[in-house]
Amino acid sequence: MSSITDKRRGDVLRAIVADFIASQEPVGSKSLVERYQLGVSSATIRNDMAVLESEGLITQPHASSGRVPTQKGYRQFVDSLHDVKPLSSAERTAMVSFLERGVDVEDVLYRSAQLLAQVTRQAAVVQMPNLQVSRVKHCEVVALSPVRLLLVLITDAGRVDQRNVDLAQPIDEADTVRLRDALNQALVGKTFREASSQLAALADAAPSDLADYIVPAATTLAETLVDHPTDRLLMAGASNLTRVPATFAQGLPTLIEALEEQVTLLKLLARVPEMGDVAVVIGDEHEEDQLRGSSVVSAAYGADGETLGGMGVVGPTFMDYPGTIARVSAVARYVSDIVGPR
């Protein structure tokens, strides 16, 4: 088989996928000849379609109908996408402007879920920062009264936790500063797991004149580090999935259940590729049964080259892959740019 024939059949497959994504109607040889500059007759196209069908890349739902892509066909189509059409300048500007209006990291991530759902017309999922990767940026200590302190723990992922600590003995301004310095020396730059160990060591080795302050403060901070679940999903656009054709709606209840349970999607987002790459999982490629009627396009976001979490969209296998890949990649990159400097 010549390379020219191989290329043409690849063009035919891409044309069938593009037409079916746009219409959800079987694609015939006549429509391909009319819509695309393939430079061959309808008979040649029909022969190419027969070969593609024998290879399992397309199928014919009914004897007299055109062809539709199979999951294998979608995979070959996605793998052949070397250049994804870039977003327009206006679209990029609108995305960045919307995300930058977030008041903190969680708000930025919530906005990213809303944005992905809107621009892809799919269900969007965004994983909150992975606390195993997040590091402590600063711990502020504020004296609310001589026997009550406010501890403010800030991470490089933008998470802010506040806790009150009641003291057995009054604390003066100088010891408040010493306590803050001791806590920051133990915590800054540490992951949450490392920080927990450091707090235990700090409490054990606290100077006698600071022990009455360090021990309750360290205990409270240690509880703060483990108090919240390390995995949480933000979701938007699940209603978009109800607007797709009946061929997808048959598996919709199972998919909605997976979205509501979150565990399945958390497992999926835990396997996102390295930052800068996009993963596409199609149909039966999913390890999770609940997702096998759908496709998921996901990417990682992070700061300073470290992945903090994943984000992506869930939709039918006949989703607009080029457009979805471009938008998921762009939003992940913009979120990383916003989160990174903080």
H-helix or E-strand spanning residue 127: strand 123-127
**Pairwise CA distance, residues 123 & 149, whole Å:** 43
Position 81 scores a pLDDT of 87
Which DSSP string do the residues of 274-323 spell out, in sequence order? STT-EEEEEGGG-SSGGGTTEEEEEEEEEETTEEEEEEEEEEETTS-HHH
Give me the pLDDT at residue 136, please: 87
User: What confidence score (pLDDT) does residue 1 get?
Assistant: 47
What Å distances lie between residue 181 and 4, 139, 290, CA to CA? 70, 9, 50
pLDDT for position 228: 54
Q: Give the Cα separation of 221 and 230 in Å (integer).
A: 16
The DSSP output letter for 26 is -
Return the pLDDT at 245. Answer: 66
Q: What do you get for the CA distance between the two ends of the chain, in Å?
A: 56
pLDDT at 249: 57
Which is nearest to 110 in space by CA: 234, 259, 237, 228? 234
DSSP state of 131: T
Q: Which phi and psi (to 5°) does residue 85 adopt?
A: -55, 125
Relative orientation angle of helices 71-79 and 321-339, to the nearest 10 degrees? 60
Q: What is the pLDDT of residue 231?
A: 56
Structure tokens at 262: 């979150």
**How many angstroms separate the CA atoms of 189 and 326, rounded?**
34
* CB-CB contact of 174 with 152 (8 Å): no
Is the separation of the CB atoms in 105 and 342 below 8 Å? yes
Q: Phi/psi at 79 (nearest 5 deg)?
A: -65, -20
What 3-state DSSP class applies to 106? helix
Per-residue confidence (pLDDT) for residue 256, from 0 to 100: 83
Q: Which residues of the chain have pLDDT under 70?
A: 1-4, 130-133, 157-158, 226-231, 245-250, 340-342
Q: Which residues pair with 306 in a beta bridge?
A: 303
Give the full edge-to-edge strand order of the sheet including 306-316: 233-236, 123-127, 306-316, 294-303, 278-282
Q: Residue 61: is it exposed, middle or buried by C-beta count within 10 angstroms (0-12/13-18/19+)?
A: exposed
The pLDDT of residue 157: 67
**pTM of the predicted structure, to 2 decimals:** 0.75
